[in-house]
Chain A
């Protein structure tokens, strides 16, 4: 019976490991299928986008969060609510541009790379590029066009993982003609 008791506590962590491992299997498969890392990065971003446009619904339903007043608030919600909810981490929001339209998310530890080491021949692979796609896709669904990219990555020897997000524009909803 001792087996039962000590497991329940970390079952949550285990489930995130399921995601991490599945993601690893996916990246491995992509690396097998595509010749160069650029293609893999692109594919990961695309898949992330598809996940993001669906995930936002789950997020809004679960978090009960309303409309954000400005981009700063959006940044906070992403870091403190969304990342916390889905990856169990809270990245810090820093390096705001003077115009307030660009910031960095600093991830101290990135659960996606828990069991990962990059082999030498994949130096340009952006392993966690899926995240960029997810953020882009999710924000697009709430009328925000953003540019998301990795600028630092612990996998490639940097001290932290840094995701840079830049606000591009508000997407106006185009109602079909004659529809009020």
Chain B
């Protein structure tokens, strides 16, 4: 079943819809990113619930992160995270060298300032999934050269 294209197109329509009214200033931009992020959060939570239905309990935080990098990422983007790094103090950096949702944009630096809107939904997705696993976090993303992308996960200690 080729379901990658529908998701990508739906995601694109989502962006178009959220951003259509917004040629406004930075405040408006921020609101849109928040909106997308919270939609992603919901989806991430739901998806995780389905995904972990029959899995064993996770050992620790790192185990959870590995799960996100492998299984969760494969489920959503058909590939694994290319590189996972951590400072062992609650910060994880997930690097995807060919992030699917940026694949349609021309590579390089030309459209760099547009990247937040293409990443917000996924940030939410990851935060939602982590939340479902009992890990409270803040997820941000940054791009230096498309289509590579880094997601930074900051674990919030409860």
Interface, chain A (partner B; CB < 8 A): 2-4, 6-7, 11-12, 14-19, 21-26, 28-30, 43, 47, 50-51, 54-55, 58, 62, 84-88, 115
Does B55 sit at the interface, judged by CB under 8 A?
yes
Q: Which residues of A contact B148 (CB under 8 A)?
A: none
Partner of B39, one of A25, A50, A51, A55: A25
Does B103 sit at the interface, judged by CB under 8 A?
no
Q: How far is the CB of A126 from chain B (nearest CB, A)?
A: 17
Does B136 sit at the interface, judged by CB under 8 A?
no
The size of the chain B interface, using a CB distance under 8 A, is 32
Complex CA distance for A26 and B40, rounded to whole angstroms: 10
Q: Which residues of A contact B3 (CB under 8 A)?
A: 12, 15-16, 18-19, 86-88
* B7:A25 contact, CB within 8 angstroms: no
Q: How far is the CB of A149 from chain B (nearest CB, A)?
A: 20
Does B9 sit at the interface, judged by CB under 8 A?
yes
* B74:A43 contact, CB within 8 angstroms: no
* A19:B6 contact, CB within 8 angstroms: yes
Q: How far is the CB of B103 from chain A (nearest CB, A)?
A: 13
Does B30 sit at the interface, judged by CB under 8 A?
no
Interface, chain B (partner A; CB < 8 A): 1-7, 9-11, 13-14, 16-18, 35, 39-40, 42-43, 46-47, 50-51, 54-56, 71, 74-76, 78
* B6:A55 contact, CB within 8 angstroms: yes
Q: How far is the CB of B121 from chain A (nearest CB, A)?
A: 8
Q: Which residues of B contact A17 (CB under 8 A)?
A: 46-47, 50
Nearest chain B residue, comparing its CB with the CB of A23: B10
* A11:B5 contact, CB within 8 angstroms: no
Q: How far is the CB of A180 from chain B (nearest CB, A)?
A: 33
Q: Which residues of B contact A16 (CB under 8 A)?
A: 1, 3
Q: Which residues of B contact A15 (CB under 8 A)?
A: 1, 3-4, 7, 75-76, 78
Output the residue of B7, B10, B11, B56 with the most chain A CB within 10 A: B10
* A21:B75 contact, CB within 8 angstroms: no
* A51:B10 contact, CB within 8 angstroms: yes
Complex CA distance for A170 and B1, rounded to whole angstroms: 30
* B43:A22 contact, CB within 8 angstroms: yes
Complex CA distance for A12 and B40, rounded to whole angstroms: 20
Q: Which residues of B contact A50 (CB under 8 A)?
A: 9, 13, 16
Q: How far is the CB of B71 from chain A (nearest CB, A)?
A: 6
Nearest chain A residue, comparing its CB with the CB of B76: A18
* B75:A18 contact, CB within 8 angstroms: yes
